[in-house]
Structure 1
Amino acid sequence: MKNLRFLFFLSKSPKLNFVLFLPKYAPKLVIGFLYLFTSSCSFHNTYIADHLVKKQIIKNTAEHSERKWLSDGKIHLITIGTGSPRADEKRMQTSTAIITDGNFLIFDAGSGTSIAAERQHLPMDQMNAIFLTHFHSDHIADVPMMVNSSWRLGRKHNLPVLGPEGTIKVVDGFNQFMSFDASYRHKNGDGTSSISYAKAIGKEILTPKEKVKLLLFEGLNGLKVYCFTVSHSPVEPAFGYLIQHKGKSIVISGDTRKSENLEHFSENADILVHEAINKKILKKFLEVTDQYPDDTSMQIAATTAVRVMDYHSSPLDAAEIAQKANVKTLVYTHITPTLGPFLPRNFITVPMFLEGVSNVYKGEVIIADDGFHYELNTP
């Protein structure tokens, strides 16, 4: 009865009705007013709209401070992409960059990472070399776009793509794949340098033996890049990389199960960038897929999950390597599976991801996101 009397009272009190209902409908009224205002005055033709568009053009096109990283004397590590082969709305596939003393090096270039590098305002025209750890698609799919974009954006030097045996064949295929595009863009005046720079130059090296590293690249101002083998069979060969410059060292694991060879070459490294697959979450994933034996998609995903757990490393595996090798900072990348949105990420999946890590590794631990940037000061 009280509710009925209240409704009756409202119907007899239009002024009070308006006051009570105004908070509920205020947002819709404001949006409606703005729509009527902008549509009636052709807002897109106003000075404000013109100013906003030009400001965004400058933001997207002009040179940014990241170009200073080439000459500020520091070593800059950027995780361009940190994802896996599976789609992740927060992460592109794998790619890592190092910028220092005129050197701009790319390590792997999975799908979407060329666009990500441009969004992160990296100095694409100064790219010196691309290194491949192995030939899984989520590590090489965007190599042709890295080559093409750096050329279109002004690169005026040859760009080597270096890696294991098979790299020359892969690069030749990419060059052929992009040949029509390069020709069209050159005729249209898109590339500001010779069309010959639109092609990459493939270089490969014989697989080094265990506990042996081979010098693959000598960059500007004394920078050196060495390759060594990691354990990712049936993918063979698979490389990790050791970058040394001005007394500092960075190791990039590529894809690997727990590897003694990787541990050997990570000794006293300043940074170890290591892939990580959360096997605990994947096992829970398998518990779910077991409930859907007739779902083809579920079973394909389950089969993939079982296989990848065998030839990848867990966060704890990487932490144990980092501790034994006396690594100063451990950076996790190639994050599998997705960590999810903010709340489950911070309260569930990240704690599960890092479970046990602090018990075995006492250095700095970072779960990298796309665009993560780390600076090393040099002597």
Structure 2
Amino acid sequence: MKSALIHTYYLFPVCLMLMFSANLMASDGSLHKLSAGKFVEKSCKNVKLQVLGAGGPEINDGLASASFLLWVNNKARVMIDAGGGSSLNFEKSAADFNDLDAILFTHFHVDHSAALPVYIKAGYFSGRSRNLMVFGPPAGGDYPSAEDFIAALFSDKESSAYPYLSDNYRQQDSTDFLIKVRSVNSNGNIWQYSLSEDISIAAIDVNHGPVPALAWRVNYRGCSISFSGDMNGNSGHLQKLADKTDLLVANNAIPQAAGRVAKKLHMTPKVIGEIAAEAQVKKLLLSHFMLRTLNTKSESMAYIKQTYLGEVILSNDLMVVSF
């Protein structure tokens, strides 16, 4: 197969090759990166997802708040959300903060972001010198943009929460690593960014009521993991982003019988199943459990299985999902 692809490549005029984008959508929906004239074959064997926090905002559920860690070749490369309690599980996972390329925020509710200052302070003691990329949603309503969120925490203004950590914020010569922050305005389109030669990220806006929110997809050599974040499913955007993804992490924050207000913020189990089926995801991982869903897992699974026939996994803190 590889030799055939290489042979075809040399038969193509260079001008035609320039028409291809850096990321190619394969027939199975995975993004295959084209680099230096080589097609990269899909490989998930060195990719793992670890759950740092399978819970939500409650403090009586026995779970850390929402956070996930993407491992590639035994290195923790990308963190998705940084909820309270996740830093302790980061330590238990034996991850190295120096290996992190980026932190991706789905939104800035406290149960998805409260531990960020813990990681930034810990980074000082890790000896990290390279910059840390932080991505998040734009401003909207009562919620700040990713840039304003970071500034409110770490700028050198007296009004910031942690001005003593401003060395990681100021854009000047420093022996410390800097936080490089960027808001993602997708406007219903899939936004893409290359973190490194082997890892790219993609995002799209989703509907979490009045809260600006993003769903994320992380791609490594054709292998992909997608994250719904908190959302109600009304926009139809997640299906586009998570199309044929290897794993979809879906937040199961409410039961099927939830009230009208809760359904404006979160997906019901039935909606989760419909989205997973429409996107043809290979595996589904349920997370962001709350007391109202911890005790209704069997019922939720039944609703999901009405439409989605693939494997469904129930997350727990420190669980590792392999491919």
Fold conserved (TM > 0.5)? yes
| Structure 1 counterpart SS, 2:286 | strand
Q: How much does 1:281 deviate?
A: 6.5
AA partner of residue 163 (structure 1): G
The match for 1:250 among 195, 209, 225 is 225
8 Å CA contact retained: 1:279, 1:309: no
AA partner of residue 223 (structure 2): K
Query: Matches of 2:100 and 2:320 in 1, distance apart?
Result: 17
Query: Matches of 2:98 and 2:45 in 1, distance apart?
Result: 19
Query: Matches of 1:269 and 1:323 in 2, distance apart?
Result: 11
Q: Percent identity, please.
A: 24
Q: Deviations over 1:16-58 (max 9, x none)?
A: xxxxxxxxxxxxxxxxxxxxxxxxxxxxxxxxxxxxxxxxxxx
The match for 1:223 is: 199
Q: Does 1:74 align with 2:46?
A: yes
The match for 1:260 is: 236
Query: Matches of 2:227 and 2:293 in 1, distance apart?
Result: 22
How many matched pairs? 261
| Structure 2 counterpart SS, 1:146 | helix
Greater percentage in strand: 2
Query: Matches of 1:271 and 1:73 in 2, distance apart?
Result: 13
Question: Taking structure 1 as the reference length, what is the TM-score of the superposition?
Answer: 0.64
8 Å CA contact retained: 1:273, 1:332: yes
Q: 1:263 to 1:95 in 2, by over 3 A?
A: same
Query: Matches of 1:330 and 1:88 in 2, distance apart?
Result: 26
| Structure 2 counterpart SS, 1:230 | strand
The match for 2:262 is: 308
| Structure 2 counterpart SS, 1:93 | coil
Query: Matches of 2:191 and 2:293 in 1, distance apart?
Result: 36
Question: Taking structure 2 as the reference length, what is the TM-score of the superposition?
Answer: 0.74
The match for 1:334 is: 288
The match for 1:27 is: none
AA partner of residue 278 (structure 2): K
Query: Matches of 2:95 and 2:268 in 1, distance apart?
Result: 30
1:181-196 alignment to 2 at 5 Å?
A: 196=176
| Structure 2 counterpart SS, 1:108 | strand
The match for 1:209 is: 187
The match for 1:364 is: 311
8 Å CA contact retained: 1:88, 1:338: no
8 Å CA contact retained: 2:128, 2:176: no
Q: Does 1:132 align with 2:105?
A: yes
Q: How much does 1:270 deviate?
A: 0.5
Q: How much does 1:75 deviate?
A: 0.9
Q: Deviations over 1:221-270 (max 9, x none)?
A: 3210011111112112x111111111111111111001411012211110
The match for 2:277 is: 323
Question: What's the RMSD between the two structures over aligned residues?
Answer: 2.3
8 Å CA contact retained: 2:54, 2:315: yes
Q: 1:100 to 1:309 in 2, by over 3 A?
A: same
8 Å CA contact retained: 2:129, 2:175: no
Q: How much does 1:179 deviate?
A: 3.9
8 Å CA contact retained: 1:275, 1:333: yes
Greater shift in the superposed pair: 325-334 or 124-133:
124-133
The match for 1:107 is: 80
Query: Matches of 1:229 and 1:91 in 2, distance apart?
Result: 27
1:129-208 alignment to 2 at 5 Å?
A: 129-165=102-138, 166-176=145-155, 177-180=161-164, 196-197=176-177, 199-205=178-184, 207-208=185-186
Give 5+ residue unaligned stretches, structure 1.
1-71, 184-193, 284-305
Report the structure number with the largest CA radius of gyration: 1
Q: 1:181 to 1:228 in 2, by over 3 A?
A: closer
Query: Matches of 1:148 and 1:196 in 2, distance apart?
Result: 11
The match for 1:235 among 211, 217, 231 is 211
The match for 1:16 is: none
| Structure 1 counterpart SS, 2:153 | helix
Query: Matches of 2:166 and 2:187 in 1, distance apart?
Result: 39
Higher relative contact order (CA 8 A, sep 6+): 2
Q: How much does 1:277 deviate?
A: 2.3
Q: How much does 1:338 deviate?
A: 5.4
| Structure 1 counterpart SS, 2:58 | coil
Q: 1:178 to 1:278 in 2, by over 3 A?
A: same
Q: Deviations over 1:69-128 (max 9, x none)?
A: xxx961111111011112234211111111215561111111111122112222223121
Query: Matches of 1:336 and 1:317 in 2, distance apart?
Result: 17
Q: Deviations over 1:152-197 (max 9, x none)?
A: 22322111211122111111222243343688xxxxxxxxxx6522
Q: 1:89 to 1:232 in 2, by over 3 A?
A: closer
Query: Matches of 1:117 and 1:136 in 2, distance apart?
Result: 20
Query: Matches of 2:293 and 2:279 in 1, distance apart?
Result: 27
